[in-house]
Amino acid sequence: RKEVEQDPGPFNVPEGATVAFNCTYSNSASQSFFWYRQDCRKEPKLLMSVYSSGNEDGRFTAQLNRASQYISLLIRDSKLSDSATYLCVVNLSSNDYKLSFGAGTTVTVRA
């Protein structure tokens, strides 16, 4: 089993739609979780951290479910500029910094 697994998609959605996807992780001791965004041929950039209580940043909502060991990302009112690959990132270590990336979920928003 991979340490961090994501549905690769692609998710093709019209502008204004809501899209959501999950990421599962294998290490129950993982403490830190993030969503990164990567545009084609660019470096990954932090989208948002994921907190235990769930958090929202504008149109983006992240949730953590420790019991089932997954995190989720929901994008509301999607824009063309949201088209990208979204990478789930998990710190596999409980006492150090060892970030593992999922393979990414591709989202394409069409006009």
Nearer to other proteins, 60 or 101 (CB): 101
Q: Looking at beta carbons only, is 18 or 94 nearer to other proteins?
A: 94
Q: What is the smallest separation between the CB atom of 27 and other proteins, expressed in angstroms? A: 14
Is the distance from CB of 104 to CB of 7 less than 8 angstroms? Answer: no
DSSP symbol at 26: S
- Give me the residues that bind other proteins (CB under 8 A), please: 31-32, 34, 36, 42-46, 49, 87, 91, 96-104
For the bound state, the minimum distance from the C-beta of residue 111 to other proteins, rounded and expressed in Å, comes to: 27
DSSP state of 82: G
Residues 6 or more apart in contact with residue 41 via CB below 8 angstroms: none
Spatial CA neighbour of 18 closest among 86, 77, 72: 77
Q: How far is the CB of 46 from other proteins (least distance, A)?
A: 4
> For residues 1 and 14, which CB has a smaller minimum distance to other proteins in the complex?
1
Report d(CA 20, CA 76) in Å as an integer: 9
Q: How far is the CB of 102 from other proteins (least distance, A)?
A: 7
Instruction: Collapse the DSSP code of 31 into the 3-class scheme (helix H, G, I; strand E, B; otherwise coil) and give the result.
Output: coil
- Cβ closer to other proteins: 66 or 98? 98
